Amino acid sequence: MKAEDEQAFREFVTSQMASLRKLAYLTCGDWHTAEDAVANALVKLYPRWRKLDRPDLYVKTMVYRAAIDETRRPWRRERSAGDAMPDVAQQDPAAAADERMRLRAALDAVPARQRAAVVLRHYLGLSLEDTARVLDCTVGTAKSQVSRGLTKLRESLADEHINLTGKPMEEWTHAVA
47-96 pLDDT, tens digit per residue, is 998 888 899 999 999 998 888 887 676 655 555 555 555 566 566 566 67
Helix locations, 73-138, DSSP H: 94-108, 112-118, 128-135
pLDDT band at 150 (very low <50, low <70, confident <90, very high): very high
Q: How far apart are CA 84 and CA 76, in angstroms?
A: 14
CATH of domain 92-177: 1.10.10.10
Question: What letter would DSSP give residue 87?
Answer: S
Is residue 164 over pLDDT 50?
A: no
Is residue 37 over pLDDT 50?
A: yes
Q: How far apart are CA 168 and CA 144, in angstroms?
A: 20
Tell me what percent of the residues of the chain surpass a pLDDT of 70: 75
Q: Evaluate whether 131 touches 30 at the Cβ level (below 8 Å).
A: no
Q: Which CATH number fits domain 1-76: 1.10.10, 2.60.120, 1.10.3470, 1.10.1740?
A: 1.10.1740
Domain spans of the chain, in order of start: 1-76, 92-177
pLDDT band at 160 (very low <50, low <70, confident <90, very high): low
Is residue 165 over pLDDT 60?
A: no
**Closest residue by Cα to residue 6 from 55, 58, 49:** 49
| More confident position, 166 or 151 | 151
Residue 169: predicted pLDDT = 47
| Sign of the CA dihedral with 26 first, then 10, 32, and 72 last | positive
pLDDT band at 131 (very low <50, low <70, confident <90, very high): very high
Distant-in-sequence, close-in-space partners of 76: CB < 8 Å, separation ≥ 6: 33, 70
Q: Which long-range contacts (CB under 8 A, 24 or more apart) does 151-158 make?
A: 152/109, 152/110, 152/111, 152/114, 153/106, 153/107, 153/109, 153/110, 153/118, 155/109, 156/105, 156/106, 156/109, 156/110, 157/102, 157/103, 157/106
